[in-house]
Amino acid sequence: MTKIVFFDVADYEVDYLMRSCDGEFDFVLVEESLSSISNILSEWRDAEVVSCFTTSRIGKDVLKKFPNLKLLALRSVGFNHVDIDYCKKHKITVVNTPNYGNMTVAEFAFGLMLDVSRKITLAYNDLKNAIVDAKHTIGTELFGKTIGIVGLGAIGAEMARLSYGFGLKVLGYDIKEREILREKYAVSYVPFDELLRRSDFISIHAPLTKDNYHIFNMKSFEKMKPNAIIINTARGEIIDTQALYNAIVDGKIAGAGLDVLESEEILTDPDYLVDVGRMKVNALQKIVLNNSLLKLDNVIVTPHIAYDTKEAIDRILSLTMANIYAFENGVVQNKVV
């Protein structure tokens, strides 16, 4: 019987996974994340399948501890937390769960945009502190403004749909242009620099690649409107955190809504507290900047929860089990590598 170890298992996932695996697999459900200094118990090491979320950091040091591993079933779309080269070299199949949260993430991104532009959280915090100051919470309307969407895949397309419905003019930047988005949501594809110059709002929905690492840097922010607001629900490393902080403090842009940050795993992974020497200087610098961003009135930061709805979680679990069952039957679906 195939052995599966599920890591990052939340309470609300237990019933579904037990029902799906009981009698079919030898399985273990583990609440903790999987990382290079996790205490990987001996009874887990013979697993042929490992499933985890993005909070696990799966480098070669981790993968070496599973000599029988054949399938890494990610409960996420992204896979930048996995040593893909090691998996390729050792013939470990990696699959993900695409399209589980297209609308989910787009709705959250739009919510961040509304929050920052209308200063909703700022007003709420003021009121809790018995402060009512209308001048402090003057916002900006969305209707008639221009949004630039970087990455018009499944999630970006949903963001275009929502934006079009709110009466925003939609600019798009993507390596692949889709005619259907022009027809349905009046998307105008433009070069990146033009998108920067013309947009009142920018929302990022691109996967992290070597080509777009820090694509939003100081030069980018200098091209943007001083009233522009940037939203990131994709990957933190697409934005240079130092450049973002400087741009906001210096008034080069008006604000930001961030569900992802550079080096965000340090904020959530207890292993870093067990061994602080594991942190690199660059990561520590990012943490200082992240904490500074949290103190700014015109920035909203949330802890990577754009995907987090009951409906999306149900789809993640369903897709994960479908991927595992397919693999058991000799079929690989949703393959990353």
Tell me: the pLDDT tens digits for 93-142?
999 999 999 999 999 999 999 999 999 999 999 999 999 999 999 999 99
Indicate whether 21 pLDDT > 90.
Answer: yes
**What separation in angstroms does the CA of 43 have from each of 26, 47, 73?**
11, 8, 19
For 257, list phi and psi in degrees, rounded to 5: -125, 115
Whether the predicted pLDDT of 39 surpasses 70: yes
Model confidence over 237-249: pLDDT tens digits?
A: 999 999 999 999 9
Active site annotation includes 311: no
The CATH number of the domain holding residue 288 is 3.40.50.720
Q: Could you tell me what percent of the chain has a pLDDT over 90?
A: 88
Say how far apart CA 301 and CA 279 lie, in whole Å.
22
Q: Which two tokens stand for residue 28?
A: 């273990």
Residue 224 counted as domain residue: yes
Percent of the chain scored above 70 by pLDDT?
A: 95
Looking at the fold, whether 183 and 283 belong to one and the same domain comes out as yes
User: Is the model's pLDDT at 225 over the cut of 60?
Assistant: yes
pLDDT above 60 (res 273): no
- For residues 231 and 117, membership in a common domain is answered with yes
CA 249 to chain centroid, in Å, comes to 25
Among this protein's residues, is 141 annotated catalytic?
Answer: no
**321 occurs within a structural domain:** yes
Q: Which residue has the tokens 């694509």?
A: 215
Clarify whether residues 66 and 50 are in a common domain: yes
268 pLDDT exceeds 70? no
Q: Which residue has the tokens 């709002």?
A: 201
The closest alpha carbon to 269, from 259, 279, 280, belongs to: 279
Residue 75 annotated as catalytic: no
- Active-site residue (options: 235, 262, 265, 315): 235
pLDDT at 275: 59
Residues sharing a CB contact under 8 Å with residue 111, sequence separation 6 or more, in sequence order: none
Do residues 109 and 86 share a domain? no
Distance CA 329, CA 21 (A): 15
Do 238 and 295 lie in a common domain? yes
Q: Tell whether the model's pLDDT for residue 278 goes beyond 70.
A: no
34 CB neighbour count, 10 Å cutoff: 25
Same domain, 164 and 42: no
Given the residues 262, 264, 265, 315, select the one marked as catalytic. 264
336, part of any domain: no
* CA–centroid distance for 175 within its chain: 20
Same domain, yes or no: 229 and 123: yes
236/197 same-domain check: yes
| Within-domain flag for 233 | yes
pLDDT on residue 284: 82
Residue 337 in any domain: the answer is: no
**Both 125 and 88 in a single domain?**
no
pLDDT of residue 37: 63
pLDDT digits (tens, 9 = 90+) for 153-167: 999 999 999 999 999
Q: Which of 7, 101, 102 is nearest to 53 (CA)?
A: 7
User: What mean pLDDT is reported for the chain?
Assistant: 94
- In angstroms, rounded to a whole number, what is the distance separating the alpha carbons of residues 296 and 112? 15
- Are 52 and 58 a contacting pair, CB within 8 Å? yes
Q: Which of 148, 151, 53, 154 is nearest to 102 (CA)?
A: 154
Q: Is residue 146 located within the same domain as residue 285?
A: yes
Q: Which domain holds residue 229?
A: 102-301
**Does any domain span residue 335?**
no
Enclosing H/E stretch for 93: strand 93-95
DSSP state letters, 290-325: HHHHHT-TTEEE--S-TT--HHHHHHHHHHHHHHHH
Q: Is 267 contained in some domain?
A: yes
- The domain total for the chain is 2
Q: How much is the pLDDT for 319?
A: 98
pLDDT tens for 172-199 read 999 999 999 999 999 999 999 999 999 9
Given the residues 57, 75, 205, 304, the one annotated as active site: 304
* Beta-strand relationship, 188-189 and 169-173: parallel
Residues 167 and 28 in one domain: no
Question: Are both 205 and 259 inside the same structural domain?
Answer: yes
> Does 334 reside within a domain?
no
